[in-house]
């Protein structure tokens, strides 16, 4: 029985489920590092998923769809930054408002434009193509499924992971973002334009959430469903909280969620009711959040000191 559950298809499915959570998580690390608690990942993802579908529906091009999605998420992230950074409103309140807006706007526009409720499925929606890695089958045989045959953003998410690591740990921008988040007064004293840095990180957050959303509706599935982000933004938020916004740990955390989600789906075949299975990823996320936040807490102070020393040495 165990081999029926855990096999190659499971691993590749887990990678597929992980990708949207992880992409939104990358976005969230930017705002989190710059000291903004951003609850609006969920809403940004949702609006992008919708706009991506609308974009492809009317143009027939999945690339234009993805761009529409990214732009829509960036617009929401700018709205977020406008209220939180410039007008200094409470980020949780603004984030919740943005989530409510995204949910309401997508459903009402869907009804007004497409005259449907629930799901938007159409042959006009062109999904992102699955890409086979050349020679993967020849070299790995049946194991090639693990590294090949995904939609583009699954591969790109690994590249993004590397890029984001470089941004955070090797560039001035990354350092500035951390300093602004950890010790804003010191950043101001150093002459860093904190408002600008926070705007940049918000926009980057929107960019990655946009990709996450577009991937959800064009890569992971080829349709739009009401509230289809279904809490993935909050799972990313939990992963950010316990990974302390470290990209690699974040990826591992998201992988755990993706894996538990896929595993639960598999168990459906063994007579476990679907509602319990759907609840599994949230429960796993919660357990992780509870267990790891406490362990991570003392490290925050140490990291602040380290970054400060680096910033002063420059």
Partner 1 sequence: MKKYLEYLRKALKDPVIAMLASMLIGAILIIMIKENPLRVYMILLKGAFGSIKDVAGTLLQATPIMISGAAACLAFKSGIFNIGIEGQLYIGGFAAAYLGFAYNLPPVLHTIVALIASMIAGMLWIFLPALFRAKYNTNEVVSTILLNYVAVLITSFLTINVFKIPGGWSETPPVAETACLPHLFSFSRLNLGFVIAVFVIVAMVLYFKKTKSGYECIATGSNYSYAEYGGILTKKVMMRVMLSSGAIAGLAGGIEALGVHRRFMEGFAPGFGFDGVTAALLAASNPIGTAITALFFGALRSGSLLMEVETNISREVITVIQAFIILFISVNIVIKKRKSKGGQK
Q: Does 88 bind partner 1 (CB under 8 A)?
A: yes
- CB-nearer residue toward partner 1: 135 or 290: 290
Give Rg (Cα) of the chain. 20
For residue 15, what are its two tokens?
Answer: 């990678």
Largest CA distance in the chain: 62
Q: Does 230 bind partner 1 (CB under 8 A)?
A: yes
Least distance (Å) from partner 1 to the CB of residue 87?
5
H-type alpha helices, the chain = 2-5, 8-33, 41-59, 62-81, 91-114, 136-140, 152-170, 172-182, 184-189, 194-214, 232-243, 247-267, 274-296, 299-313
Q: Find the binding residues for partner 1 in span 165-204 (CB under 8 A).
A: none
**For residue 235, what are the CA distances in angstroms to 13, 30, 240, 288?**
18, 16, 9, 10
Among 238, 245, 264, 311, binds partner 1 (CB under 8 A): 238
- Per rule CB under 8 A, count of chain residues that contact partner 1: 45
Least distance (Å) from partner 1 to the CB of residue 235?
7
CA distance 129 to 149: 9
Among 7, 71, 282, 308, binds partner 1 (CB under 8 A): 282
DSSP assigned state of 131: B
SS3 label, residue 208: helix
Residues listed for the chain = 314
CA distance 264 to 30: 31
Cα end-to-end distance, the chain, whole Å: 58
Q: Does 75 bind partner 1 (CB under 8 A)?
A: no
Q: Does 231 bind partner 1 (CB under 8 A)?
A: yes
Q: Does 134 bind partner 1 (CB under 8 A)?
A: no
- CB-nearer residue toward partner 1: 96 or 165: 96
Q: Does 78 bind partner 1 (CB under 8 A)?
A: no
Residue with the two structure tokens 């234009």: 64
Among 39, 73, 187, 197, binds partner 1 (CB under 8 A): 39
Q: Does 108 bind partner 1 (CB under 8 A)?
A: yes
- CB-nearer residue toward partner 1: 5 or 286: 286
Binding positions for partner 1, rule: CB under 8 A: 37, 39, 79, 83, 87-90, 92-94, 96-98, 100-101, 103-105, 107-108, 111-112, 117, 230-231, 234-235, 237-238, 241, 273, 275-276, 278-279, 282-283, 285-286, 289-290, 293-294, 297
């Amino acid at each position: 029985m165990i081999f029926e559950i855990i096999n190659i298809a499971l691993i590749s499915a887990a990678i597929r489920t992980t990708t949207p959570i992880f992409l939104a998580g990358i976005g969230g690390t930017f705002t989190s590092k710059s000291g903004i608690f951003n609850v609006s990942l969920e809403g940004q993802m949702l609006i992008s998923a919708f706009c991506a579908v609308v974009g492809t529906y009317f143009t027939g091009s999945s690339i234009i769809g993805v761009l529409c999605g990214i732009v829509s998420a960036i617009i929401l992230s700018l709205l977020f930054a406008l209220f939180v950074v410039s007008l200094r409103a409470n980020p949780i309140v603004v984030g919740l408002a943005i989530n409510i807006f995204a949910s309401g706007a997508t459903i009402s526009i869907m009804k007004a434009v497409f005259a449907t409720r629930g799901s938007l499925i159409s042959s006009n929606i062109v999904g992102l193509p699955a890409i086979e890695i050349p020679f993967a089958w020849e070299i790995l045989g049946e194991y090639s499924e693990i590294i090949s045959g995904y939609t583009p953003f699954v591969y790109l998410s690994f590249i993004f992971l590397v890029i984001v690591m470089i941004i955070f740990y090797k560039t001035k921008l990354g350092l500035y973002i951390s300093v602004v988040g950890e010790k804003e007064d010191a950043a101001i004293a150093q002459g860093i334009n904190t408002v600008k840095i926070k705007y940049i990180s918000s926009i980057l957050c929107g960019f990655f959430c946009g990709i996450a959303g577009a991937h959800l509706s064009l890569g992971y599935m080829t349709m739009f469903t009401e509230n289809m982000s279904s809490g993935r933004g909050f799972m990313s938020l939990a992963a950010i909280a316990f990974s302390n916004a470290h990209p690699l740990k974040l990826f591992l955390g998201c992988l755990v969620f993706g894996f538990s989600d896929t595993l639960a789906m598999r168990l459906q075949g063994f007579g476990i009711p679907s509602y319990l299975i759907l609840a599994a990823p949230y429960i796993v996320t919660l357990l992780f959040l509870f267990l790891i936040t406490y362990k991570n807490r003392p490290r925050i102070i140490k990291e602040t000191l380290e970054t400060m020393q680096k910033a002063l040495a420059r």
